[in-house]
Amino acid sequence: MPWTHRAFWIAPGIILTILLLLSAIVARTRLRRVYRERFVEPRRERMFLAAFGYFVAIAVVRGLTLAIHWNIGPFHDVSMGGRHIHHLVWGILLLLLLGYAWLLEIGNGSKESSPWMGRFMSMLYGVAAALTLDEFALWLNLRDVYWAREGRESFEAMSLFAAVLCAGVAGRPFLHGIFRELTGRGGKRGIAYHESGH
């Protein structure tokens, strides 16, 4: 069984650790105030968190697949019954699970839903999309072309989805707030910037 093998837990463990660490940094530093000022609208916050999960997962998965490909470290493919289980499978399963949870109105951003669960599930959506789109060329060609020339199609799909996420986030107010906070230019002017709708 793949879930009993150590290799199965490496990518999820690294992704979860990075997401929790970066979330803790924002929650426990002066960035928390900037975050709250810039993400008043829940939809924008959910898009930002999905993009956050997406980019973290892309970095981890691409790093691990390169390590596996070049035999670096203890990393190797996850197999079941001699069959390689692609990370695309885990992405699809996670998307199905998230969709079902949203049908049950768990973490969907409604008033009855927990804001914490909504944030967590938004990040998980980004992770699931990354796992799935990283092997877009495989589901397009119905064969393993990850390292072949056709594998470039995965990069194109990932780039397009990243662009969609970034456009949806329109995280300029938050990034501007971080810049102002780190350069010591925060305060009332930063709040006025947000209230003016820029």
pLDDT in tens, 165-189: 776 666 566 667 777 888 887 655 4
Torsion of Cα atoms, 157 then 77 then 87 then 50, to 10°: -80
The pLDDT of 39-48, averaged and rounded, is 84
Give the pLDDT confidence score for residue 163 in this predicted structure: 75
Position 190 confidence tier, pLDDT thresholds 50, 70, 90: very low
Binned at pLDDT 50, 70 and 90, residue 1 comes out as low
For residue 71, pLDDT over 70 is answered with yes
User: Which of the four pLDDT bands, split at 50, 70 and 90, describes residue 114?
Assistant: confident
How many Å is the Cα radius of gyration of the chain?
A: 19
Residue with the two structure tokens 């990069």: 155
Neighbouring C-beta atoms of residue 24, cutoff 10 Å:
10
C-alpha distances in angstroms, 34 versus 50, 79, 157?
A: 19, 44, 32
With CA atoms as reference, report the closest residue to 161 among 62, 19, 50, 65.
Answer: 50
Q: Is 114 left (phi over 0), alpha (psi -120 to 50) or beta?
A: beta
In this predicted model, what pLDDT tens digit does every residue of 140-159 receive, in sequence order? 776 777 777 777 777 778 88
More confident residue, 102 or 148: 102
Q: Which residue has the higher pLDDT, 39 or 132?
A: 132
Torsion 165-170-171-175 (CA) sign: positive
Give me the chain's average pLDDT, please.
81
CA atoms within 13 A on the CB side of 186: 18
Residue 193's pLDDT is 43
| 54: nearest Cα among 131, 2, 164 | 131
- Say yes or no to pLDDT of 107 above 70: yes
List b or e across 104-138, with b for residues whose CB sees 16 or more CB atoms inside 10 angstroms: eebbbbeeebeeeebbbbbbbbbbbbbbbbbbbbb
